[in-house]
Amino acid sequence: MSQISISINGTQVTCAPNTSVLAFLTTQGLIQDISQDMIQNGMAVAKNGSILAKPLWANSSLQHNDKLDVFTLVAGG
């Protein structure tokens, strides 16, 4: 399979097999600087319904039909 299908926030897109979550988010334009250590805007990711800690994004590879939900953490009260 040369390309796999991924759902991101309900939209189907394709990418190469075994693309990391971090690389995928960068390709999608959701991360500007892949080298940055700290995500500054409160971005969080759930993969197949389970929140993926940011340090795991680089080593978590995407498989066909994986579902990503990207959202922004808020702190106001």
Partner 1 sequence: MNNVDLSSDDISRYSRQLLLDDIDETGQANIKQAYAVVIGLGGLGSLVARYLVGAGIGKVLLVDSDTVEKSNIHRQVLFNQDHIGQHKTQASYAQLRLVNPYTQIELAENQANSSNLPSLISGAHCVLDCSDNITTRKAINAACVNQRTALFIAAASQYSWQAINLRCNGSDSGCYACLLAQTTVQEDCMSQGILGPVVGMAACFQATQALLYLASTNVESGVNPEANPSAEPKANSETQNTWGKYYIMNAATAQFQSFSLPAYKHCEVCQCHK
Which residues of the chain form contacts with partner 1 (CB under 8 A)?
37-44, 46, 49-51, 53-56, 69, 71, 73-77
CB of 3 to partner 1, least distance (A): 26
8 Å CB contact between 70 and 45: yes
- Cα(70)–Cα(46) distance, rounded to whole angstroms? 7
SS3 (DSSP) at 54: helix
CB of 6 to partner 1, least distance (A): 17
Tell which residue, 13, 16, 23, 11, has the closest CA to residue 1.
16
CB of 1 to partner 1, least distance (A): 27
Please say which residue, 1 or 75, places its beta carbon nearer to partner 1: 75
